[in-house]
A = this chain, B = another copy of it.
Amino acid sequence: MSSSERVWNARQKNREQRLARATAALGSQLQGKIAPADQLGELLYAVLENGDRVCVEGNNQKQADFLAKGLAALDPARVNGLHMLFSVLALPEHLDVFEKGIADRLDFSFSGPQAGRLAKLASAGKLNIGAIHTYLELFGRYFVDLTPRVALVAAQAADRHGNLYTGPNTEDTPAIAEATAFSSGIVIAQVNEIVDELPRVDIPADWVSFAIKAPTPHYIEPLFTRDPAQISEIQVLMAMMAIKGIYAEYGVQRLNHGIGFDTAAIELILPTYAESLGLRGKICKHWALNPHPALIPAIEAGFVESVHSFGSELGMEDYIRARPDVFFVGPDGSMRSNRAFSQTAGHYGCDMFIGSTLQIDLQGNSSTATLGRIAGFGGAPNMGADARGRRHASEAWLKAGQQARAGRNTIPRGQKLVVQTVETFREHMQPAFVEKLDAWQLGEQAKMPIPPVMIYGDDVTHILTEEGIANLLLCRTEEEREQAIRGVAGYTAVGMGRDKRMVENLRDRGIIRRAEDLGIDKRMATRDLLAAKNMKDLVRASGGLYNPPKRFRNW
């Protein structure tokens, strides 16, 4: 085909056709860009074409649930072959489209509650998984080879022009909408209300094709709320070791915490234990973090200077509004979260990532993938990886780099601290340390090209268990590394398989450090150290501003 015959604006023309079909289908029910909720099916039939790449906004918190339901209700005889894109595949409807035959391809990042059903559908041949991504990677591909043709997003409100206000749960909407709108795609937003004037504009109307007021407000999951009442004394001990043996040791000022009780315990003993060590102003000043309720006491105690958030957290709205020096808020007073920028901050602007996992092998590779579940890893691979493009120095980064390279003939370089914190046995007495990750078998079952590892061993710098801290930066051979891991693996088979003399040698060299080596009195490790011991304490610490979701109210 000669260049002169080639069509260069096929997407634009196709977009016009889709819009024209929508206008024809909805007629006078379409008021500008505002479509009525009961016409969602007609609208989707009008704008969708078979084989479309469709991004449904499913986030850690906010869900475009009305649109997801509408999509799943379509007739597969009329729409099929869709290629679905999700940050978080969280709702049953996200999988119904595959079961019904409306969609057959999937690329995503995380699938927590749907992981088991996803694995079943995959093995039944109902869908073809392109890949599991970390969030920022998926956003990057939206601008390269996974650009959505149609995006279904969620916002708090729209005005009559189609401008969107997301409120605190901006999350993934900017990345999805930009990639779709600027490739001549279609962006449909479900909103909780349509108003004359928005508190602020998060997504300009130019980027939005249609807005629909959903019958019920979009669903929000309070994913980052941990009730302090459930924190154990083992977790308090591990939190003490983390603070004294890692945070203070490296002077960690900029960080991200994973989800979980282990890290909630650390947040909750900052105002008590870390304060007693004189660490206020020296550690934990800048965070890339959702607004964890467990962080309230540390904020109130003056530990925290800033928090930039991936998404918001239900119940934290008023507290955030009253703490604008700490959180990123708009002129309207509500937060602007942004997963793309917060993941960028986590990757390049933080010195430490600490999170938990389900399994760690003898090389330090870790994974939450277990048999029969295709869960994905969300942000962990991005934040739990050394940012090799990073060029700015900090005390923590330089010290980690020096430890890793001491005595080696390499050019000096810093390194990110990546800490995996696990109790040696998880629930049902499953060992956290294994000879071989389940990920190998899962990868074979699901025909993945390589096993799904969450964090690679060569990126992990420390493993923290109730038995102590293994500093992998200081290990000089594969064998030392293996013994350092065995040396904190407790009574698991991996731990029992340790070479005792070598482990004692590693301890003498400070590669393994027990609580007593750190000068930590284990008797102090009680729940008394928690600055809030239950949800009510968190509410109190917030001066009544924190308003926990019902399921967390046990008083």
Contacts of A344 in B (CB 8 A): 136, 139-140, 143, 340, 344
B346, B391, B458: the one contacting A452 at CB < 8 Å is: B391
Listed residue (A140, A288, A324, A449) with the most chain B CB atoms within 10 angstroms of its CB: A140
Residues of B within 8 A of A6 (CB): 302
Residues of B within 8 Å of A548, CB to CB, are: none
A175 CA / B107 CA spacing, docked (Å):
27
Partner of A325, one of B8, B141, B410, B457: B8
Question: Max chain B CB contacts within 10 Å: which of A183, A200, A324, A344?
Answer: A344
**Which residue on chain B has the smallest CB distance to residue A11?**
B325
CA distance A386 to B388 in the complex (A): 7
- The distance from the CB of A170 to the nearest CB of chain B, in whole angstroms, is 10
| Contact A137 B391, CB 8 Å, known A11-B324, A286-B144, A450-B413 | yes
Question: Which of A140, A144, A328, A331 has most chain B Cβ within 10 Å?
Answer: A144
CA distance A409 to B365 in the complex (A): 13
Q: Is the CB of B308 within 8 A of A143?
A: yes
Contact pattern, A 227-266, Cβ under 8 Å of B = 1, otherwise 0: 0000000000000000000000000011000000000000
A410 contacts B363, C-beta separation under 8 Å:
yes
A452 to B390, CA, bound (A): 11
- B201 pairs with A204, CB closer than 8 A: yes
A178 touches B336 (CB 8 A): yes
A301 interfacial by beta-carbon distance below 8 Å: yes
Please, which residue of chain B has its CB at the minimum distance from the CB of A6? B302
Binary contact track A289-313/B, C-beta < 8 Å → 1, others 0: 0000000000011100010100000
Q: Is the beta-carbon distance between A145 and B306 smaller than 8 angstroms?
A: yes
For A392, give its contact among B141, B147, B322 (CB under 8 Å): B141
Q: Which residues of B contact A331 (CB under 8 A)?
A: 181, 206
Q: Is the CB of B141 within 8 A of A182?
A: no
Is A9 at the interface (CB under 8 A from chain B)?
A: yes
Cα separation A383 to B285 with both chains bound (whole Å) = 29
Does A330 belong to the interface (CB within 8 Å)? yes
Closest to A146 in B: B349
Q: Which of B204, B413, B450 contacts A456 (CB 8 A)?
A: B413
CB distance from A276 to the nearest CB of B (A): 18
Specify which chain B residues have a CB less than 8 angstroms from the CB of A324 in the assembled complex. Answer: 8-9, 11-12, 184
C-alpha gap A352/B286 in the complex (Å): 33
B363 and A137 contact, CB distance less than 8 A: no
Contact yes or no, B137 A392, CB < 8 A? yes
- B389 near A385 (CB under 8 angstroms)? yes
Residue contact B450 to A388, C-beta cutoff 8 Å:
no
A44 at the interface (CB under 8 A from B): no
The docked-state distance in angstroms from the alpha carbon of A390 to that of B450 is 12
- Of all chain B residues, which has the CB nearest A2? B300
Distance from A416 Cβ to chain B, minimum over Cβ atoms (Å): 10
Chain B residue contacts of A3, Cβ below 8 A: 300-302, 543
Please report the C-alpha to C-alpha distance between residue A387 and residue B459 in the assembled complex, in whole angstroms: 12
Chain B CB within 10 Å, residue with most, of A136, A349, A350, A401? A349
Does A124 sit within 8 A of B, measured CB to CB?
Answer: no
- Which of B134, B179, B393, B451 contacts A390 (CB under 8 A)? B134
Partner of A141, one of B144, B178, B349, B398: B349
A133 in contact with B450 (CB, 8 Å): no
- Most interface-central of A6, A338, A387, A412 (chain B CB within 10 A): A387
**In the complex, A71 has a CB within 8 A of chain B:** no
Q: Are B144 and A308 in contact (CB under 8 A)?
A: yes
Q: Which residues of A contact B (CB under 8 A)?
A: 1, 3-4, 6-12, 107, 130-134, 136-137, 139-141, 143-145, 147, 163, 175, 178-179, 181-184, 200-202, 204-206, 253-254, 285-286, 288, 300-302, 306, 308, 322-326, 328-332, 336, 338, 340-342, 344-350, 361, 363, 365, 377, 381-393, 398, 401, 409-414, 437, 448-453, 456-459, 478, 543
Question: Given known contacts A11-B324, A139-B344, A411-B451, what 16 new A-B pairs fall within 8 Å (CB)?
Answer: A8-B322, A8-B323, A140-B341, A140-B344, A141-B349, A144-B286, A175-B341, A178-B336, A200-B204, A201-B206, A344-B344, A363-B411, A385-B389, A386-B388, A411-B450, A411-B457
5 contacts between A and B (CB under 8 A): A137-B389, A143-B345, A143-B349, A361-B411, A385-B387
The 9 A-B pairs with the shortest beta carbon distances in the complex, nearest first, are A131-B392, A144-B349, A140-B348, A201-B204, A385-B388, A137-B348, A382-B389, A140-B349, A385-B389
